[in-house]
Amino acid sequence: MNPGEGFLSRFVTRERVRTGLHASSKKRLIEEVADLLSSYSGDLDRDTVYQILNQRERLGSTGIGEGFAIPHGRINGIDQPIICAILLDQGLDFDSIDDQPVRCIVGLLVPADANQTHLQILSRLAKAFSQPEIRERIMACHDDDTFFRAVNDLD
């Protein structure tokens, strides 16, 4: 897979983007991410997706700082990456590296054997979220459509 213009946007659909979501805990948030990642593919079991994301989270928080987290994992049964995005109604403790609550969560699943693609996507997301103007634009979104466009414009 060659990254180019619109690399990330190929893996995000409007149906997997939510704003204004409330999560009472990190566990509940990971469940929401698993729901979104698995709900639009008949081949993915929600509980399996949750277990993969939760196992990765146990290795160390995927909260990258500045209010952003990228829970991710590799899974058998898919042939291309799947991305979802959630913008919470308020910050949530996520054990982030900067100890700040998260509001924007981008969930990622990649095929089990797609190591290079996995790293490319994580790198692009981290680079995008390190830019203050991108963070501000994302945090200013108030509806799913605007948020979807902002996520699609990340690269």
Q: Taking a C-beta distance cutoff of 8 angstroms, is the pair 37, 49 a contact?
A: yes
Q: In a structure prediction context, what are the per-residue pLDDT tens digits for the chain, which is 155 residues long?
A: 333 446 788 899 999 999 999 999 999 999 999 999 998 666 789 999 999 999 999 999 999 999 999 999 999 989 999 999 999 999 999 999 999 999 999 999 999 999 999 999 999 999 999 999 999 999 999 999 999 999 998 87
The whole-model pTM stands at 0.93
8-152 fold = Mannitol-specific EII; Chain A (3.40.930)
Complete DSSP assignment for 109-127 = EEETT-HHHHHHHHHHHHH
Say how many CA atoms lie within 13 Å of 71 toward its Cβ: 31
Alpha-carbon distance 132 to 138, whole Å? Answer: 10
The ranges assigned to domains in the chain are 8-152
Catalytic residues: 72
